[in-house]
Amino acid sequence: MELINLDHTMRIETASHSSKGNQLKWMIHDNWYKADYMGYESLSEVIVSSLLQCSDIPAERLIEYRPVWIQYDEKRMKGCASHNFLKEGQELIPIERLIRQYTGHSPVIEMGHIPGVKDRIRYLVNSVTDITGLHNFGAYLTTALEIDACFLNEDRHTNNIAVIYQEKTHDYCLCPYFDHGLSLFSDMTVDFPLESDMESCMKRIEAKPFSRDFDEQLDCAEELYGRQIVFLFGEKEISQSIIPFQGIYDPRILLRVEEVLRQQRRKYQYLFTKPAQG
């Protein structure tokens, strides 16, 4: 794997509403670098992005992550790298900041006052649509929730959903799907120690941002905006996605990840077949 030497002057401080803390992040020569923090976030980032290439998501909404070694503060850490997808004059605006800026209210707090999951999703989609004019945001968000359910991403808070703003034209557009690091039980430090079995991990994991239950928020979004994604990866692609990490991560981690991917593929089999034409 590539070795990247980084220092304090290159580090990026990011605000986060995640309960899991912040990864170390850097931006160098139009590339992002992130180091493992809770366990094997980089492995999850790379594998999820690799398997999303085997889907019907448009290429412009996918980010390719690659594994790297990061040398920082006299330590060598496992990490991942990706190209900055923003073009000149563009700004990434998390929907937390977007809605606060235009309404003066936090969408997280507002959704806390809305009892139904479907109504929370509708509120968020309508708010973003009203501000940006992006009438396909409901479908975009549904795709994100389908991805998160399949790969068990526990960190899709309102700072991990964003739109792109073009300052020159004052236009908004949808951004690629990003930040899959806390997927596949990658947090070995707090919630999913490597010694935990699959059943206990499944009982502990919680979704965001509309419900703690992945299936509940997924079902509600699909009822509102329709099923969106078609996954195209199978057993072969799952096995191939693990290969680059052999000899780098603990074999028990690789076995766990492979087991999770196979289990989730069986559970969400309907997302691996083309929807019936009505």
Q: Which of 94, 87, 82 is nearest to 27 (CA)?
A: 82
Q: What is the DSSP string of 5-55?
A: EE-GGGEE------TT----EEEETTEEEEE-SSBSHHHHHHHHHHHHTSB
Q: What share of the chain is helix, strand, coil (3-state, %, to 5)?
A: 40, 20, 40
Q: Which pLDDT belongs to residue 245?
A: 95
| Per-run averaged pLDDT (10 residues), the chain, 278 residues | 74 55 81 94 97 96 95 90 94 97 96 97 98 97 98 95 95 96 96 95 96 98 98 96 95 97 97 78
Q: What is the pLDDT of residues 76-132, one digit of tens each?
A: 999 999 999 999 999 999 999 999 999 999 999 999 999 999 999 999 999 999 999
pLDDT attached to residue 185: 98
| Strand bridging mode 25-28 / 11-12 | antiparallel
pLDDT of residue 10: 60
In this prediction, residue 128 carries a pLDDT of: 98
Amino acid (one-letter) located at 168: K
pLDDT value of position 121: 98
Residue 219 CB neighbours (<10 A): 16
The pLDDT, as a whole number, for residue 17 is: 47
Burial environment of residue 119 by CB neighbours within 10 A (0 to 12, 13 to 18, 19 or more): middle
Confidence at residue 20, expressed as pLDDT on a 0 to 100 scale: 61
